[in-house]
Amino acid sequence: MAFDDLEYWWSTVRKKRPRPHEGIDFFCYEDSLGKVHYLTQHLVPAPCHGRVVALCPDFLGQSVFLHAEKQEGTSGMYVLAHISPHVHVGQILHEGDGVGQVAAAKGDVPAHLHVSFLQGDWRDLPENLSWPAILAQKKLRFVRPFSE
């Protein structure tokens, strides 16, 4: 699912989302030999150097909030969702370090990695951190996590 998409990608019936998609979903990839690999249990690499500032549950696993440190023009954090994390709050990660594994599928939702970028100060995260609380607050905003 792409940033700002309005429909769920895994449903065989066109289903509308309650709000535009706030990130990018990765479900599978094709290697150089043309073989398709699904992401269930794959290790998720850190997209940048940064510090883990929060963890919270999501509907497939947990979400890891990684404050992007020392990236020019960046004031915010990556959110790596639907994983089983191998990290803890306060941990410093380098780009490429393992963050966790993609969580297993639940019901009709296949295993996938959701990547978002929250623009703003990590200290503005809601005290009782949850996805509904993040979506309801006004100080942080979701932006496209990767340039096209």
Please check whether residue 131 lies inside any domain of the structure. yes
Q: Are 20 and 108 in contact (CB under 8 A)?
A: no
Please state the pTM of the whole predicted model.
0.90
Q: What is the mean pLDDT of residues 47-59?
A: 94
> How many percent of the chain have pLDDT more than 70?
96
Question: Which of the two residues, 102 and 12, has the higher pLDDT score?
Answer: 102
87 or 109, which is more confident: 87
Residue 14 is assigned to a structural domain of this protein: no
Separation between Cα atoms, residue 137 and residue 139, nearest integer Å:
6
Backbone angles phi and psi of 78, in degrees to 5: -80, 145
In percent, the amount of the chain with pLDDT more than 90 equals 64
Taking alpha carbons only, the member of 61, 59, 122, 124 closest to residue 87 is 61
In a domain, 93, yes or no: yes
> Which CATH number covers residue 115?
2.70.70.10
Residue 122 maps to a domain: yes
Q: Total domain count for the chain?
A: 1
Residue 11 lies in a domain: no
Greater confidence (73 vs 141) lies with 141
Establish if 130 belongs to a structural domain.
yes
Could you list the residue range(s) of the whole structural domain that residue 63 is in?
24-143
More confident residue, 70 or 114: 114
